[in-house]
Structure 1
Amino acid sequence: MAPPALRSIACGKAAIVGSSPRSRLCRLTTRNRTVSGDLTASPTPTLAGNGRSAGTRGGRLLYHERMRRTIGFVIISCMSSVLSVVLPSFATAVDRTAPMRAEQVTAGVAASRVFQLPVRAEFVAPYWRGNPRAQVTLAFSLDGVHFGKPVEAGRDEIGLARHDGTTYGAIRNADGAVAVRVVTDRPLGSLTVLGLSDGAITTHRTVRFQIAESSQAATTQPLVEPRSAWGADPQYMTWTPAFYATKKLVVHHTDTSHDYADRAGAESQIRAIYYYHSVTQGWGDIGYNFLIDKFGNIYEGRYSRDYAGANPSGDDLDGRGVTGAHTQGWNSGTVGIAMLGTYTDADVTPAARQALESLLAWEASRNGIDPQATQAFVNPVSGATITTANIASHRDYAATLCPGDAFYATLPTIRRDVAARIGGTTPPADTTAPSAPLSLTATGGKNRVTLTWKPSTDDTAVTGYQIWRSQNGSTTFALVADSTGTSYVDSGLQRRTSYTYKVRAYDAPLNLSGFSNSSTAKTS
């Protein structure tokens, strides 16, 4: 269904702008900046007769004043038939332009080579010509001498679709590195290390409020942070948008770090992805239609149009979704939603999942998509046909590990929950416990023991793991810690002492799995 036409209702020098009554902004625009505007309703007028004192100028003025108030009241009353309240919550929005500072170094790598970066890099991505199956690792140095633990270069899932003879590694956190040690299991004639960090950021702020409906439907569009809020540099967007009716919804993970500490860190990572997709890989824009961080913030991805401050919906004025570059061969007629991070061993956070389900429910509802159905899909451009779930993942369309094993296992429950949101019902209570963790290994060190294990799976999401410990062969275990990941370092222990551990998983309703195998290690 096509969205309503863009409306602009004057309110003094301010205007309400938006593409739907669900989310509109009132701004006062001056020559060089945008500041807040207010909607102030006049008191309800009391009219007696026509309110005129006949034959007097004062009566005529009173008449015109009361008529002005009456017209204002009628306008406000009409608006109230759609909009019931002006939310008193103000938010300072930041519109920014944040160009990336990109530096790259290219050389051949026979087995190992150290690349000195011209400037410190917050993110690094390697890419190379030939040998697409090469196993490459990266180690980062903050001083050019001491290097950290190697990490796999991985593969960028959007770059896999480029087919230009280049293998694009994933974006990795470099935390201000000045050097990168690259190790490969086979010779690479030309490898480039791309270092990315934020350049000079230009910002201006606006104070916004929203007008909301009296009752929020389950399928109301969630708040989406526009490209201007996360700092998309317009000069990188060189692709001409194309639009088609949305028939399928595809979820991804970005295969980047999910260790970002706050929203600013998430936005910085999105800017790096945007540059990598748009400029380095030559797509002309970011590949995903939307992105969601672990805090539950939803971001506008692929450019579709100027929303004039309204909530971005990723479509044209006829409601057709913009084509992304997220699933090769199946981009037109689909919406790609990427979870920011890597979810192979750990599931997305509850906040991220809630945001995802809200976005999926809105997209499915407005496009007439059955969230629990599996149906044939005809690519509107190529005519190719594929049968997939209407809410599917990247791996359902291509040979990829995206969106990660842990996250992929929860898709059946996500489809169920989305259907419940659309139907206005409550999903059934979750009483299913996660599976028991596997392959627990304990390794002793000085006053510490390091634990690692394979992740549990759950029908909704694994929230965390309990760490249980006994000492010197005792059969009595005590709960000593919780972990949200699949590793834990138990420190501050007695030296030359044996400790035995076991781990169990739990989900949000605190359904507990069985225990893992036990593992013993001795401190040094």
Structure 2
Amino acid sequence: VPRRLDRRSILMASAGLAAASVLGRQPAAGAQWTGATVAGEWVEAQEVGITLASGIGGEYTPEPISFQADFAFQGIAPHWDIAENPGAGIELSLSADGVNWTDPVWVVESSDGGRPDREGRRFGRLVPANWASFVRYRAYDAQGVPATLPGLAFSYFDAANGPTMIEAAQPALTPSLARPPIISRSAWGADESLRFNERGRETWPVEYQAVQHVVIHHTDTTNFEDPVLGLRLIYYYHAVTRGWGDIGYNYLVDFMGNVYEGRFGGETAVGSHALQYNWGSAGIGTMGRYFNEPVTPEMRSGLTWITAWASRSLDPLATPPFQNIASLPTICAHRDVNSTSCPGDAMYAEIVQMRQAVQAVITGTVEAAPPSPGFLPGDMVVTSVEGGLLRDMPTNEANVLTAVSLGEVLTIQDGPATNDGAVWYQVRGPSLTGWMTSDALVPGGGEPAPAPVEDAAAPPPDESGEAMAPVG
């Protein structure tokens, strides 16, 4: 039955629990803040009492180990001592309540960025968590045998405190020769103090090299996540957890076509995104994972524009030599220079066409720009159908938060995002925020809906995880 988006919706709709990720949950009292992001760490040897040798070996029970974090978190990454060989990995599941668990994901060492990692440790990739509080894992050696990993620990993060998308959004949907609208570090909430060590010195001083190639990546995180929150997670993970001193990508692009400033220092600053190929390249991270997942037209436009800007003095169709590679496309993928599956098969397939699109932008022969969005953040809209579905992400496969009554006044928070044959907008009601398709919305309304208020009685949401294959 269609319902008004009132406070009762949160308490009664079990699907509405997923709304916590878009309501700006705050971490538990007592969590230690570092700038905009709070971080915690769980160390196996301290918590479980396992005696770890310098390497793997001996008897070990194959039963998974579980623990509860100090606060609900949105991202987590395992890491262990360098003593272990690089083939080891972690099978990881997450839970909001300790009862319902995500499908396990496989996490192996991620070591092809270029910057030296903190204390020489081996770091797995950052795994999205969607307000999980519980962790279940099992470690394996390079032969796939359950084992202990020396010095195994898990770092987890909450980056909810910071600018929101409605404050930061500047979609780059009409590629041209002009500089695209790039969302600055301050606009997405970069805490610049994280770039400095305890003596007040830059951990990673900026160096410059003219761009000769553009390297396309995916961040291998959740598709359709809150981009500015996700970006702050990546920044903290790179700058502090791994000890790099900054984010490794030069630019990032989200599913709505927003382009973000990455590495401090601006154009031609050397990043850390492709081992041995950072000097002379611009690394662009597409936010999400694109093994089979489709790329939205908005992301395609934003990626084309920032790639054209970064390579505007180059021939995007050429294949000049680079470092020790005799012939490398000017616009290439991470997998073209390192042994990795990045940026996923779906994104990799986009690059051939993107080179042509970039060429058209640079030569001034780009086709007519797509129509401007029907709505902009801050616009008031009214639902035009009875029972329109409010979902937690812009896809028909996402959780339904509630059905919305005809004539409901909502505020556009973000969008557009084209997916599943529809154009989606993030909308805010009196108590819930979620995504609806444009065919259920018309212009109108009066005063903006007040910001949703999270109910303390509502537990954090479950994450609908998806089994993943090992990636580089």
TM-score, normalization by structure 2: 0.59
Supply the distance in 2 between the matched residues of 1:174 and 1:370 (Cα, whole angstroms).
Answer: 40
Conserved? CA contact 2:169–2:183, under 8 Å: no
Query: Structure 1 residues 202 and 249 mapped into 2: Cα distance closer, same or farther (>3 Å)?
Result: closer
- Is 1:248 the counterpart of 2:213? The answer is yes
Query: 127, 130, 146: which one pairs with 2:79?
Result: 127
Q: Which whole-Å CA distance do the structure 2 matches of 1:223 and 1:126 have between them?
A: 35
- Name the aligned partner's letter for residue 319 of structure 2: T
Aligned partner of residue 327 in structure 2, secondary structure: strand
SS of structure 2 residue aligned to 1:410: helix
| 1:144 and 2:98 matched | yes
Deviation at 1:281, TM superposition (A): 1.1
CA–CA separation in structure 1 for the residues paired with 2:96 and 2:105: 15
| In the alignment, structure 1 residue 258 sits paired with structure 2 residue 210 | no
1:229 and 1:143 map into 2 onto residues whose CA distance is 34
Q: Which residue of 1 aligns with 2:333?
A: 393
Q: Report if the CA contact (8 A) 1:98-1:198 is conserved.
A: no
Any residues of structure 2 matched to 1:209-224 within 5 Å, and which? 218-224=176-182
Determine the C-alpha separation between the residues in 2 that align with 1:271 and 1:200: 9
Letter aligned with residue 327 of structure 1: A
SS of alignment partner, residue 123 of structure 1: strand
Pick one of 40, 44, 50 that aligns with 1:103: 40
**Partner residue in 2 for 1:502:** none
Could you tell me how far apart the structure 2 residues matched to 1:197 and 1:256 are? Answer: 15
d(CA) in 1 for partners of 2:367 and 2:354? 10
Q: Which moved more, 1:129-138 or 1:98-107?
A: 129-138
Structure 1 contact 115–182 (Cα < 8 Å) conserved: no
User: 2:434 aligns to what?
Assistant: none
Relative distance call for 1:403 and 1:221 in structure 2 (3 A) is same
Tell me, what secondary structure is at the counterpart of 1:103?
strand
Aligned equivalents of 1:247, 1:207: Cα separation in 2: 30
- Contact 1:157–1:254 (Cα < 8 Å) also in 2: no
Structure 1 partner of 2:435 = none
284-293 vs 144-153, which moves further: 144-153
Check conservation: 2:114, 2:272, Cα contact below 8 A. no
Is 1:194 paired with 2:155? yes
User: Residue type matched to 1:394 in 2?
Assistant: H
Give the 3 Å change call, closer, same or farther, for CA 166–484 of structure 1 in structure 2: farther
8 Å Cα contact 2:213/2:280 also seen in 1: yes
- The CA distance in 1 between the partners of 2:281 and 2:109, in whole Å, is 23
**1:173 matches 2:128:** yes
Q: Distance in 2 between matches of 1:99 and 1:483?
A: 31
2:303 is aligned to 356
CA shift for structure 1 position 403: 0.7
Task: Describe the superposition over 1:310-347 as per-residue Cα deviations: whole angstroms up to 9, x where unpaired.
Answer: xxxx23xxxxx111111111112111110001111123
CA distance in 1, matches of 2:264, 2:348: 27
Shift in alpha-carbon separation, 1:375–1:159, aligned structure 2, 3 A: closer
The separation in 2 between residues aligned to 1:232 and 1:100, in whole angstroms, is 10
Identical aligned residues as a percent? 35
Please give the per-residue CA displacement for 1:233-265, whole angstroms capped at 9, x wherever unaligned.
1111132111111111111111111131xxxx1
User: What does the per-residue CA deviation read over 1:62-108, in whole Å, with 9 as the maximum and x for residues that have no partner?
Assistant: xxxxxxxxxxxxxxxxxxxxxxxxxxxxxxxxxxx952100000115
Aligned length: 307
Aligned equivalents of 2:129, 2:319: Cα separation in 1: 41
Q: What is the distance in 1 between the residues matched to 2:38 and 2:270?
A: 28
Q: Residues 11-70 of structure 1: CA distance to partner in whole angstroms, max 9, x if unpaired?
A: xxxxxxxxxxxxxxxxxxxxxxxxxxxxxxxxxxxxxxxxxxxxxxxxxxxxxxxxxxxx
Structure 2 unaligned residues grouped into runs of 5+: 1-33, 51-59, 141-145, 196-201, 369-394, 398-417, 422-472
Distance 1:153 1:413, change over 3 A: same
Counterpart-to-counterpart distance in 2, 1:416 and 1:115: 50
* 2:236 equivalent to 1:275: yes
The higher radius of gyration belongs to 1
TM-score by length of 1: 0.54
Candidates 170, 187, 193, aligned match of 1:229? 187
Answer yes or no: is the 8 Å Cα contact 2:257–2:300 preserved in 1.
yes
Q: Hey, which of these two has a bigger chunk of strand by percent? A: 1
In 2 relative to 1, CA 168–351 (structure 1 residues): closer, same or farther, beyond 3 Å? same
Aligned mates of 1:169, 1:207 — CA distance in 2: 29
Residue 132 of structure 1 and its aligned partner are, at CA, apart by 2.5
- Decide whether the 8 Å contact of 2:168 with 2:187 is kept in 1: no
Partner of 1:153: 107
Query: 1:184: how far off?
Result: 2.5
Q: 2:274 aligns with which of 322, 327, 349?
A: 327
Distance 1:269 1:407 in 2: 19
> Deviation at 1:117?
0.9
Distance 1:405 1:385 in 2: 22
The residue that corresponds to 1:402 in the other structure is: 342
Partner of 1:522: none
- Deviation of 1:148 after TM superposition, in Å, equals 2.9
- Once residues 351 and 375 of structure 1 are traced to their aligned partners in structure 2, the CA distance between those partners, rounded to angstroms, is 29
Distance 1:292 1:152 in 2: 25
> How far has the Cα of 1:283 moved from its partner?
1.0
Q: Give the direction of change, closer, same or farther, for the CA distance of 1:202–1:256 in structure 2 (3 Å limit).
A: closer
- Counterparts of 2:262 and 2:151 in 1: how far apart (Å)? 31
Q: Kindly report which structure 2 residues correspond to 1:409-488, keeping only aligned pairs within 5 A, or say none.
A: 409-426=349-366, 484=420
**Would you say the 8 A contact 1:124–1:194 is kept in 2?**
yes
Once residues 201 and 408 of structure 1 are traced to their aligned partners in structure 2, the CA distance between those partners, rounded to angstroms, is 32
2:69 aligned partner: 117
